[in-house]
Structure 1
Amino acid sequence: MSRDAVNAICRVLPGAEWSDPWGGGHDAWKVGGKLFAVIGAAGAAVAVKCASVDEAEHLMDLFGWRKAAYFHRSWVEMPLGTEADLLRHRLEASHATILAGLPRKVRTALEAGRDAAAPPGPGQA
């Protein structure tokens, strides 16, 4: 799966917002101001949040993925070459994990689609 395909998946998730907070070509996806997916400037992998450290360790053991550099131990790094359905599932699960941790008022507004217009993602005007 390509960087563009990952961005296309993230772009349509409820409340998802794109940014490049560190400059240099990162694609950082947030919901409610919290990161749920990051593609580094090199673009070889996407970092996603897991529900727990145990889940992250299980995925690393199962698929040989690495812990995402510079992130908490509950984040894993998935190569962009990961099978498309699995990659989509993990992106959606990461988004849901972050969404579930947001305050109820924010979560309700995002789930209902009442959030402010998100800035366009990469390649959009």
Structure 2
Amino acid sequence: MNREDINAFCASLPQATHVVQWGNSDVWKVGGKLFAVLGWNNGETAVTFKVSPIAFEVLPDMQGIRPAPYLASRGMKWLQDTRDPGLSDAELQNHITYSHEMAVAALTKKKRAELGL
């Protein structure tokens, strides 16, 4: 998946919103909660997403996966796929979907109801 494909996938998730910030990064949120960031790693696309504590421990052993700069250094369980080689397309989609689900779960009941989630 390239940056365009990943952005299209993020846009397909329920109530996903997009802004460009942080040095021209594509930032994806649901209900104001961050779930994915597409930025750059040495001129190539890098995808940052929230993961479970277990995934945070296991996935960095794979080539192309690392704790997300800034977010992980603050104790948050976020990883960055530098796409070299990184996760398969299906695995990446699964992790972005799970990150979206965790963001939805962090919303208040009222906010989830407002968004129809």
Do the structures match in fold with TM over 0.5?
Answer: yes
Note the residue ranges of structure 2 that are not aligned, 5 or more in a row. Answer: none
Aligned counterpart, 1:86: 91
Task: Name the SS for the 1:76 alignment partner.
Answer: strand
Listed one character per residue, the Cα deviations across residues 57-103 of structure 1 (whole Å, up to 9, x for unaligned) are: 12223x24100001134000113353111111011011001111110
TM-score, normalised on structure 2? 0.82
- The separation in 2 between residues aligned to 1:25 and 1:12, in whole angstroms, is 21
Aligned counterpart, 2:80: 77
- The separation in 2 between residues aligned to 1:44 and 1:11, in whole angstroms, is 17
Q: Is the 8 A contact 1:51 1:97 kept in 2?
A: no
**Structure 1 residue 25: Cα displacement:** 1.9
1:1-125 pair list within 5 angstroms: 1-22=1-22, 24-41=23-40, 42-52=43-53, 54-61=54-61, 63-64=62-63, 65-72=65-72, 73-80=76-83, 81=85, 82-110=87-115, 112=116
- The separation in 2 between residues aligned to 1:18 and 1:77, in whole angstroms, is 18
CA RMSD across the alignment:
1.7
Over 2 Å off, 4+ runs = 41-44, 79-82
What one-letter code is carried by the residue in structure 1 that aligns with 2:98?
A
Task: Name the SS for the 2:91 alignment partner.
Answer: helix
- The separation in 2 between residues aligned to 1:7 and 1:43, in whole angstroms, is 15
TM-score, normalised on structure 1? 0.77
Structure number having the greater strand percentage:
2
- The separation in 2 between residues aligned to 1:90 and 1:43, in whole angstroms, is 20
The structure with higher relative contact order (CA 8 Å, sep 6+) is: 1
Q: Is the 8 A contact 1:10 1:29 kept in 2?
A: yes
Note the residue ranges of structure 1 that are not aligned, 5 or more in a row. Answer: 114-125
**Structure 1 residue 109: Cα displacement:** 2.7
